[in-house]
Amino acid sequence: MRLLSRWQNSAGERVRIALRLKGLQFDYVPVSSLAPGDYKALNPQGLLPALDVGGRIVAQSPAILEYLEEVYPEPSLLPSDTIIRAEARAFAAHITSEMHAITVQRVRRFLEADLAVDQTGIDRWVQHWLGLGFAALEETLRRRVVNWPFCFGDEPGWVDLHLVPQMGNARRLGCDLSSYPLLGSIEQRCSRLDAFRLSRPEAQPDFPHGQAPA
């Protein structure tokens, strides 16, 4: 398998973590190493990441994660209990559906270039929506039936691999995350594990020299 992505792509980071949590071998291919137009030819959506499975391209990180879970079910990234599994999927979906696009560079560029929103306004917009999202996630964790060391279990999985990259994105964009102690404690536990540490932006071969980590 080849994972086509770039260092600063939180959706790609999710997939990198999932591949490593499952112990799967893959080749990381920075899109910057491709000739102009080659990636769009592979993935008409043009969005990152994409997984190349023997020449077949799977786009969109949710679809990639579902593919990995179906084809490589052990170890599972999802809880075994059906209700907790649904809660885990809902938590991750809140990140992918409600929060992720706020941090996407092309979305913020549109605000500036097409709608003439200045940087102060963009920052306020980002911090408002991400703040609402993180507050909801923090409260969700507070209401768990068990105070697990990771989001929904004794081992990291589906939810944690969504949460950690999103927190990194938010921090890079100037968000204060000190109001979310449960989220922060889980992020700290995850950061000590190789699957997360090796998937961080600064650990990727295309990470620009001299760039401050996200």
Domain boundaries, the chain: 2-75+198-203, 82-194
Superfamily of domain 2-75+198-203: Glutaredoxin (3.40.30.10)
Q: How far is CA 53 from CA 8, 26, 62, in A?
A: 22, 10, 16
From first to last of its 214 residues, the chain has per-residue pLDDT tens of: 999 999 999 999 999 999 999 999 999 999 999 999 999 999 999 999 999 999 999 999 999 999 999 999 999 999 999 999 999 999 999 999 999 989 988 889 899 889 998 999 999 999 999 999 999 999 999 999 999 999 999 999 999 999 999 999 999 999 999 999 999 999 999 999 999 999 999 999 999 976 554 4
* Contact (Cβ atoms closer than 8 angstroms) between residue 12 and residue 187: no
Predicted confidence at residue 106, as pLDDT, reads 86
Predicted confidence at residue 211, as pLDDT, reads 57
Architecture of domain 82-194: Up-down Bundle (1.20)
Q: Which pair of structure tokens corresponds to residue 49? A: 């990441």
Predicted confidence at residue 213, as pLDDT, reads 47
Domains 2-75+198-203 and 82-194 share a fold: no
